[in-house]
């Protein structure tokens, strides 16, 4: 401490009053405890991912890639050596994209209706929208299966029935996300646009949509992420089709190739790249402004 008070005068013997005191071990621990906890949490969260990456370089001894045998690049060289697996990935991606587009468009429109208008069935619809998130997935899946069995029959089930089911539960997440963004938007901005000669269409395109876009984008990403890894409802509505999560579940019984870990690692790296790029772009944009 550099300041001295009257009650604690400088030592009379002339020794340096401001000698740097050695910190006690307790003080050292106090200062570093946050760092330590942060580190542990990171390890906890990232360890499974690290294991997947590590195991993707394994040459499994037998059908199951569960134990480390020896290093190999085989799986990375031929990620699609198992065509069933790659076909299931393709199907998952297709369903993910289609379901995301439909759910995002419908969900955004619902959000606007719910936030901007007061109508009779509003609270009832609010509850219905929450249902797919609250109801047990097994029950939802079983009921959907019964519905499709009794209407179009098991033979016709596949891409479209899965997509319809995914749209159903993705809509809830889209509505929740877009609604919060929309509710947080200052309504005078639209009044201001109107006041500045923007027609209702122009107001929507030039002011409302750009301001809600981050919410819509986040909602779409969320919908895609939920769709791509859904298993329970998908199983009930898939008919003879097989999505990637279904393939992995099945492979636990048949054979678990290292390629699954390759795909897992690729997904992980892909996600991290997207995040990193968006962060860098953001940084560049803010630094350019200064």
Site for other proteins, rule CB under 8 A: 186, 188-189, 191-199, 202, 206-207, 210-211, 289
For the bound state, the minimum distance from the C-beta of residue 263 to other proteins, rounded and expressed in Å, comes to 38
- Tokens at residue 204, please? 């929507």
At 58 the three-state DSSP class reads strand
| Closer residue to other proteins, CB minimum distance, 194 or 229 | 194
Give the whole-angstrom CA distance, residue 95 versus residue 29.
Answer: 51
C-beta contacts of 245-252 below 8 A and 24+ residues apart: 245/92, 246/88, 247/84, 247/85, 247/88, 251/85
Measured from the CB atom, the residue of 13 and 186 that comes closer to other proteins is 186
In whole angstroms, the minimum distance from the beta carbon of 239 to other proteins comes to 45
Judged by beta carbon, residue 178 or residue 262, the one nearer other proteins is 178
Least Å distance, CB 186 to other proteins, is 7
* Rg (alpha carbons) of the chain, rounded to whole number: 28
Which lies closer to other proteins via its Cβ, residue 23 or residue 206?
206
Instruction: For the CB of residue 279, give the shortest distance to other proteins in the complex, in Å.
Output: 19
The rounded distance, in Å, linking the Cα atoms of 86 and 270 is 17
Query: In the chain, how many H helices and how many E strands?
Result: 12, 0
Distance from C-alpha of 7 to C-alpha of 2, rounded to nearest angstrom: 15
Minimum CB–partner distance for residue 207 and other proteins (Å) = 6
Can you say how many angstroms the Cα of residue 68 is from the centroid of all Cα atoms in its chain? 30
Q: State CA 122 to chain mean position distance.
A: 29
Structure tokens belonging to residue 69: 């045998």
Shortest distance, CB of residue 194 to other proteins, whole angstroms? 5
Q: Measure the CA–CA gap between 116 and 258, rounded to whole angstroms.
A: 51
Closest to other proteins by CB, 183 or 252: 183
Q: In this complex, which beta carbon is closest to other proteins, that of residue 7 or of residue 201? A: 201
C-beta atoms surrounding 136 within 10 Å: 9
């Amino acid at each position: 401490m550099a300041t001295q008070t009257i009650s604690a005068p400088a030592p009379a013997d002339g020794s340096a009053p401001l000698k740097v005191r050695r910190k006690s071990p307790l003080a050292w621990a106090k200062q570093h405890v946050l760092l330590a906890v942060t580190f542990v949490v990171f390890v906890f969260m990232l360890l499974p991912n690290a294991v997947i990456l590590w195991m993707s370089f394994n040459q499994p001894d037998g059908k199951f890639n569960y134990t480390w045998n020896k290093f190999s690049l085989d799986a990375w060289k031929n990620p699609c050596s198992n065509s069933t697996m790659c076909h299931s990935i393709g199907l998952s991606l297709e369903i993910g994209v289609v379901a995301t587009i439909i759910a995002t468009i419908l969900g955004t429109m619902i959000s606007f209706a719910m936030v901007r208008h007061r109508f009779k069935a509003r609270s009832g619809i609010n509850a219905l929208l929450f249902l797919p998130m609250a109801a047990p997935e097994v029950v939802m899946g079983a009921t959907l299966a019964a519905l499709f069995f009794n209407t179009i029959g098991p033979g016709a089930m596949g891409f479209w029935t899965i997509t319809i089911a995914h749209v159903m539960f993705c809509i809830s997440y889209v509505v929740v996300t877009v609604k919060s963004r929309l509710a947080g938007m200052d309504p005078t901005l639209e009044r201001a646009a109107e006041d500045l000669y923007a027609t209702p269409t122009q107001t929507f395109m030039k002011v409302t949509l750009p301001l809600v876009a981050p919410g819509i984008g986040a909602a779409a990403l969320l919908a895609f992420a939920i769709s791509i890894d859904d298993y329970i409802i998908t199983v009930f509505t898939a008919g003879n089709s097989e999505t990637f999560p279904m393939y992995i579940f099945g492979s636990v019984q048949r054979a678990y190739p290292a390629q699954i870990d390759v795909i897992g690692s690729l997904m992980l790296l892909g996600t991290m790249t997207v995040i990193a790029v968006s962060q860098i772009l953001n940084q560049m944009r803010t630094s350019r402004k200064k």
